[in-house]
Amino acid sequence: MPPRTYRSYSTEFKLSVVQAYLNGEGGLKAIARQFGICHPLVLKWARKFELGELNEELAQADKVRDYEAKIASLERKIGQLVMEVDLLKKGARTLPSGEPLSIVSGPPAFPSPKDAA
């Protein structure tokens, strides 16, 4: 049996579903069909909304968490790119002038002396 996969929904999405349900824009099953979810979720989210567990503050907290994750990802990428640039600059300084430098293969190999004596 394959493992179950669960979808997660943003707080904004949940709030829009609950608002549609509470505003009477359709029946329970019609709203669930409209938003592509099962109708027990609409009831569950409506209960949470009525208890104050689903509100705009949570939506903002979700946005902040998403933005922080994106920022952390971009900071890691910047660090990686800075290291690559530093490595390339260092490689360019150590090459004899006029030698081509390839980003893919690096600097050309230096010829070894023919006689070890």
**Cα–Cα nearest to 17, from 46, 59, 56, 53:** 46
**CA 28 to CA 21: how far, in whole Å?**
7
pLDDT tens by residue, 25-83: 889 999 999 999 999 999 999 999 888 888 878 778 888 888 999 999 999 999 999 99
Q: What is the pTM of this model?
A: 0.51
| pLDDT > 60? residue 100 | no
